[in-house]
Amino acid sequence: MSPNWPSWLPLRGDLSELSPYGAPQIEVPVRLNTNENPYNLSDDLQSALLDEISRCLKVLNRYPDRDAIALREALAGSINASHGTDVDSASIWAANGSNEIIQTILLAFEGGALGFEPSYSMHPLISKVVGKSWISIPRDKNFEISESQIEKAISATESKIIFITTPNNPTGTSTSLELITKVATAIASRQGLVVVDEAYGEFSKNPSAITLIKGHPNVLVSKTMSKAFAFAGARLGYVIADPKVIEALQLVRLPYHLSALTQAAALAAISKQSSLSKDVERLREAREEVAKEINSMGLQSYPSEANFLLFSGFIDSSVKLWEELLNRGVLVRDVGIAGHLRVTIGTRAENRAFLDALREITQGRGSRREDNHPEVRG
Ligand SMILES: Cc1ncc(COP(=O)(O)O)c(C=O)c1O
Distance 49 CA to ligand 1 centre (A): 23
The candidate with the shortest Cα–Cα distance to 258, out of 277, 275, 239, is 239
- The answer to whether domain 23-41+276-362 has CATH 3.50.50.60 is no
State the distance between the two ends of the chain, measured CA to CA, in whole angstroms. Answer: 21
Distance 6 CA to ligand 1 centre (A): 32
d(Cα 109, Cα 202) in Å, to the nearest integer?
28
pLDDT computed for residue 364 by the predictor: 63
Nearest CA to ligand 1 atom 3: 199
CATH T-level fold of 43-271: Aspartate Aminotransferase; domain 2 (3.40.640)
Q: Distance of CA 136 to CAs 28, 115, 126, Å?
A: 34, 5, 14
41 contacts 270 by C-beta, under 8 angstroms: no
Sequence-ordered strand ranges (E) for the chain: 30-31, 92-95, 112-117, 134-138, 159-165, 193-197, 219-224, 237-240, 300-301, 308-312, 330-331, 340-344
Distance 98 CA to ligand 1 centre (A): 6
Q: Quick one: DSSP state of residue 279?
A: H
**pLDDT tens across 111-135, in order?**
999 999 999 999 999 999 999 999 9
Question: Which residues in the chain come in under a pLDDT of 70?
Answer: 1-3, 364-378
pLDDT computed for residue 2 by the predictor: 58
φ, ψ for residue 353, nearest 5 deg: -60, -40
Q: What is the 3-state secondary structure (H, E, C) of 297-327?
A: CCCEECCCCCCEEEEECCCCCHHHHHHHHHH
State the amino acid at position 70 in one-letter form.
A
Distance 171 CA to ligand 1 centre (A): 14
Indicate the helix (H) or strand (E) that contains 262.
Answer: helix 260-271
**Bridge partners (DSSP) listed for residue 220:** 195
Q: Which of 21, 36, 37, 98 to mutate to test the pocket of ligand 1 (most atoms within 8 A of CB)?
A: 98
d(Cα 199, Cα 89) in Å, to the nearest integer?
20
d(Cα 326, Cα 321) in Å, to the nearest integer?
8
Nearest CA to ligand 1 atom 2: 199
Query: What residue ranges line ligand 1, CB within 6 angstroms?
Result: 35, 97-99, 120, 165, 169, 197, 199, 224, 226, 232, 237
Q: Which of 226, 227, 235, 310 to mutate to test the pocket of ligand 1 (most atoms within 8 A of CB)?
A: 226
CATH topology agreement for domains 23-41+276-362 and 43-271: no
pLDDT computed for residue 144 by the predictor: 96
pLDDT computed for residue 363 by the predictor: 85
Q: Is 368 left (phi over 0), alpha (psi -120 to 50) or beta?
A: beta
pLDDT computed for residue 3 by the predictor: 60
Structural domain boundaries in the chain? 23-41+276-362, 43-271
Locate the ligand 1 atom nearest the alpha carbon of residue 100 and give its number.
9
pLDDT computed for residue 202 by the predictor: 96
pLDDT computed for residue 20 by the predictor: 86
